[in-house]
Chains A and B, each alone.
Chain A
């Protein structure tokens, strides 16, 4: 891997974050609604409003507020949440870890089953397997997340009482966060009962979250595989008498992977920011809901920090996708230099 490529990309990342910070900062303040008014509610006297605005620093001019925001941000200080009075970073970190855990689990399920379904469909093109997989994909894209989540809760938690319906962990258990990821923490503590409990809590939300990306991945894998399977080198490989499994997995899938990786990257980014519905249904204390609540409360500091974090994550995921390209297809490396 060429280090100058990574350095250049990291430099771009700084530009992106700077751009996002300007856009977010000013757009937030263009939305009508006064944070002080929202905090104080229906009955607040003008005096109370004015003094709260002063305490929150909202009476200063916008460029001054932006300057203070940037200066503090560069020192790693995102300020205090306007709603809760706690440092924003303390509010965000635990929730970010919850969202990452859920998205990663969702993405894992989506990737494994999506690619499997896509490969099977392509290999057994126009068979019952293909039709079933693609019909499921169609259903997967179109089924409302809300309905699916509630149905699963009804069936597996209320009716059969097999799976817990909410949260990340049994409430009776004291959690000692190390990384903030329940499963990882449980393993680090060698607490297998907690690990199992964490897995059981994760199953339904992760499946609910995975349906849409799974369906997309399955369809992309299928079309990409179909294209590759028609190539000359596949025929050559088969003609050489290579085992079909090796042909499919190494020669075909390996080469069909580029578009799949792109879709994986985009979907991982989407899941991080778009898990709000799943988080709401399963009472998952993630960042998605926090952003929505903060936005409704015009909690400028919290929203700014969240959006910036999403922007950085999205950019990092893109960088990883590009690096994966180079790893998967040596020709890309040559072009980049």
Chain B
């Protein structure tokens, strides 16, 4: 027996080893697996990262910015009443299955999301309607290469929504064939074709040689899930992977010091904030909220907890988004002023308020518990007693939506990079109704709400900008939030990888990437 075993192992040693990936294969390591690759049903970043290599939309964001650019639509125009959008589609584009991209494909891809009568409607769960086609009432095929969308009211942010992952164009043939299994049979028009997906392990994509903008340079992309950060870091160092996403600040510092590795940074579109529940009588006075804003030293939070990978926030959205009001003077760190404001407002110093700490870390809040502890200490320094409360994530979202908290930490990645997404979605009176409030400050300011609703119906960008700038002034003065930080997006990769794009939301298609 022993003899056979040794012979077996000796033979095995003689077997040649498998080759490593070649220079036209990109191995991309990340912290988690995708959940759902039919992007119209996806809600997580890991799904979008992989899916946007395969699918394209009518319009897209810039490679390194959030400005909307043409993609499958070459141009578009809006009717005078602001209700009808007409898109002129690119000609000669083919899906990965060889079928033609045309107006019918746009119709089927969109109608399956909003039209309950459409045969494909039942094949999926269309979760984020408010960010995609909520206000679209009709989709009309004008000719083979022209499509129009009608909205129930003039809705300017629609064009940004169409650039979001939620509005991909799929092959109608594939949708009819694979029905509710479309999420495992992905047929788009993008630069890479789907090959296979081993769950929790890796996704393989290959070059689409017939890509309308010219075949991409990489032959193959392997997207590999490596959940443990240290393993992912070591894989990047040893050259086993070319890109490592989701590294922690310590690892990023190490990457910066390693000669054959590169870190690329860009301003993000997210915001981390502490919402102050204005429906609680003791937080209803704006002076109390201003006092809390003066009591916290954001710069210190960013240096220690974000390790410098963020900029302090003074507005509800990041400077990378248009209409950011840079004239606003942030509340400076001034405990004396905070105490004076509290006294003026007659705040009951004996009262203990609750600060809810998020149970999960997010890019916009990398260490929620330590952040809560620091804020607790800052508030204690001005005489506000505060207790840290924790719930699991599902409960947390539910209860904050019910307005059960005093102060709560939360954040938002404004995927469509439209100010409306932050100001209307997170701060208008319309979204402050419990239960299920997304305006967790439960802040109902009529003037503010009026401005952001007017902006939704305005198609002149200069005029919209003006409304949003005014709205930001109100949000600053009334202080329903203590905005903390906008983190930077970071991508760490091997020096051999060239032309890596980095959009402020961290989600890019890799058609231009190549390896030395």
By CB atoms of chain A within 10 A, which of B181, B198, B204, B412 has the most?
B198
Cβ contact within 8 Å between A86 and B398:
no
B150-190 contact mask (Cβ, 8 Å, vs A): 1 or 0:
00000000000000000000000000000011011000000
**Complex formed: what's the CA distance from A210 to B201 in Å?**
22
**Is B41 on the interface with A (CB-CB < 8 A)?**
yes
**Is B73 on the interface with A (CB-CB < 8 A)?**
no
Cβ contact within 8 Å between B202 and A167:
yes
**Is A73 on the interface with B (CB-CB < 8 A)?**
no
**Complex formed: what's the CA distance from A173 to B220 in Å?**
13
Q: Given A86-B183, A154-B234, A161-B238, decide whether A33 and B394 contact each other with a Cβ distance below 8 A.
A: yes
In the complex, which of the residues B43, B222, B225, B227 contacts A39, with contact meaning CB atoms closer than 8 Å?
A: B43
In the complex, which of the residues A45, A83, A84, A168 contacts B436, with contact meaning CB atoms closer than 8 Å?
A: A45
**Complex formed: what's the CA distance from A86 to B33 in Å?**
15
**Is B146 on the interface with A (CB-CB < 8 A)?**
no
Q: Which of A2-10, A224-232, A240-248, A276-284 participates in binding chain B?
A: A276-284
Min C-beta distance of A290 to chain B, whole Å: 6
Q: Given A43-B438, A85-B183, A171-B21, decide whether A283 and B225 contact each other with a Cβ distance below 8 A.
A: yes
**Complex formed: what's the CA distance from A31 to B231 in Å?**
32
Q: Which of A126-134, A192-200, A262-270, A304-312 participates in binding chain B?
A: A192-200
Instruction: List chain B residues, Cβ under 8 A from A170.
Output: 18-20
Instruction: List chain B residues, Cβ under 8 A from A280.
Output: 227-228
**Complex formed: what's the CA distance from A285 to B33 in Å?**
10
Cβ contact within 8 Å between A94 and B397:
no
**Complex formed: what's the CA distance from A175 to B201 in Å?**
13
Cβ contact within 8 Å between B231 and A150:
yes
Cβ contact within 8 Å between A193 and B17:
yes
**Is B27 on the interface with A (CB-CB < 8 A)?**
yes
Closest to B122 in A: A55
Instruction: List chain A residues, Cβ under 8 A from B15.
Output: 192-193, 195-196
**Is B442 on the interface with A (CB-CB < 8 A)?**
no
**Complex formed: what's the CA distance from A37 to B435 in Å?**
12
**Is A165 on the interface with B (CB-CB < 8 A)?**
yes
**Complex formed: what's the CA distance from A200 to B20 in Å?**
14
Cβ contact within 8 Å between A91 and B199:
yes
By CB atoms of chain A within 10 A, which of B183, B228, B230 has the most?
B228
Q: How many residues of A contact B (CB 8 A)?
A: 60
**Is B129 on the interface with A (CB-CB < 8 A)?**
yes
**Is A166 on the interface with B (CB-CB < 8 A)?**
yes
Cβ contact within 8 Å between A32 and B436:
no
Instruction: List chain B residues, Cβ under 8 A from A48.
Output: 127-130
Cβ contact within 8 Å between B35 and A83:
yes
In the complex, which of the residues B36, B426, B433 contacts A85, with contact meaning CB atoms closer than 8 Å?
A: B36
**Is A42 on the interface with B (CB-CB < 8 A)?**
yes
Min C-beta distance of B193 to chain A, whole Å: 15
Min C-beta distance of B275 to chain A, whole Å: 11
Cβ contact within 8 Å between A166 and B231:
yes
A-B CB contacts (within 8 Å), total count: 165
Min C-beta distance of A16 to chain B, whole Å: 28
* CB-CB contacts below 8 Å: A7-51 with B: 31-35, 37-46, 48-49
Instruction: List chain A residues, Cβ under 8 A from B478.
Output: none
Cβ contact within 8 Å between B426 and A43:
yes
Closest to B125 in A: A55
Min C-beta distance of A42 to chain B, whole Å: 6
**Complex formed: what's the CA distance from A116 to B150 in Å?**
76
Closest to B360 in A: A296
**Is B349 on the interface with A (CB-CB < 8 A)?**
no
* CB-CB contacts below 8 Å: B385-416 with A: 391-395, 397-398, 401, 410-412
**Is B224 on the interface with A (CB-CB < 8 A)?**
yes
**Complex formed: what's the CA distance from A166 to B198 in Å?**
14
Closest to B433 in A: A46
Instruction: List chain A residues, Cβ under 8 A from B21.
Output: 171-172
Cβ contact within 8 Å between B393 and A33:
yes
Cβ contact within 8 Å between B394 and A32:
yes
Cβ contact within 8 Å between B12 and A195:
yes
**Is A222 on the interface with B (CB-CB < 8 A)?**
no
Instruction: List chain B residues, Cβ under 8 A from A39.
Output: 43, 127
State which size class the interface on B falls in. 35 or more
**Is A52 on the interface with B (CB-CB < 8 A)?**
yes
Min C-beta distance of B199 to chain A, whole Å: 6
In the complex, which of the residues A154, A158, A172 contacts B20, with contact meaning CB atoms closer than 8 Å?
A: A172
Min C-beta distance of B412 to chain A, whole Å: 6
**Is A219 on the interface with B (CB-CB < 8 A)?**
no
Instruction: List chain A residues, Cβ under 8 A from B222.
Output: 171-172
**Complex formed: what's the CA distance from A83 to B227 in Å?**
18
Instruction: List chain A residues, Cβ under 8 A from B401.
Output: 37
Instruction: List chain B residues, Cβ under 8 A from A38.
Output: 393-394, 397
Cβ contact within 8 Å between A167 and B183:
no
Instruction: List chain B residues, Cβ under 8 A from A154.
Output: 234
Cβ contact within 8 Å between A167 and B238:
no
**Complex formed: what's the CA distance from A195 to B181 in Å?**
32
Instruction: List chain A residues, Cβ under 8 A from B436.
Output: 44-46, 49
Cβ contact within 8 Å between B225 and A34:
no
Instruction: List chain B residues, Cβ under 8 A from A40.
Output: 43, 127-128
Min C-beta distance of A294 to chain B, whole Å: 11
Min C-beta distance of B142 to chain A, whole Å: 31
Cβ contact within 8 Å between A197 and B17:
yes
Closest to B223 in A: A171
In the complex, which of the residues B124, B202, B397 contacts A37, with contact meaning CB atoms closer than 8 Å?
A: B397
A83-122 contact mask (Cβ, 8 Å, vs B): 1 or 0:
1111000010011000000000000000000000000000
Instruction: List chain A residues, Cβ under 8 A from B411.
Output: 42
Cβ contact within 8 Å between A283 and B435:
no
Min C-beta distance of A191 to chain B, whole Å: 10
**Is B240 on the interface with A (CB-CB < 8 A)?**
yes
Instruction: List chain B residues, Cβ under 8 A from A195.
Output: 12, 15
By CB atoms of chain A within 10 A, which of B17, B20, B397 has the most?
B397
**Is B281 on the interface with A (CB-CB < 8 A)?**
no
Instruction: List chain A residues, Cβ under 8 A from B180.
Output: 85
**Complex formed: what's the CA distance from A52 to B126 in Å?**
8
Min C-beta distance of B201 to chain A, whole Å: 4
By CB atoms of chain A within 10 A, which of B17, B431, B435 has the most?
B17
Min C-beta distance of B336 to chain A, whole Å: 35
B227-246 contact mask (Cβ, 8 Å, vs A): 1 or 0:
11011001101101000000
Instruction: List chain A residues, Cβ under 8 A from B393.
Output: 33, 38, 296
Cβ contact within 8 Å between B234 and A157:
yes
Min C-beta distance of B184 to chain A, whole Å: 7
* CB-CB contacts below 8 Å: A46-64 with B: 46, 48-49, 52, 55
Min C-beta distance of A213 to chain B, whole Å: 22
Instruction: List chain A residues, Cβ under 8 A from B199.
Output: 91, 94-95, 285, 290
Instruction: List chain A residues, Cβ under 8 A from B20.
Output: 170, 172
**Complex formed: what's the CA distance from A298 to B396 in Å?**
14
**Is A153 on the interface with B (CB-CB < 8 A)?**
yes
Cβ contact within 8 Å between A173 and B12:
no
**Is B226 on the interface with A (CB-CB < 8 A)?**
yes
In the complex, which of the residues A43, A52, A283 contacts B425, with contact meaning CB atoms closer than 8 Å?
A: A43
B433-452 contact mask (Cβ, 8 Å, vs A): 1 or 0:
10110100000000000000
Cβ contact within 8 Å between A32 and B392:
yes
Closest to B422 in A: A43
Q: Can you name 7 A-B residue pairings with CB atoms under 8 Å?
A: A38-B397, A153-B231, A158-B234, A166-B235, A170-B20, A192-B11, A290-B199
* 4 shortest interchain CB distances as A-B pairs: A33-B394, A46-B436, A285-B200, A285-B201
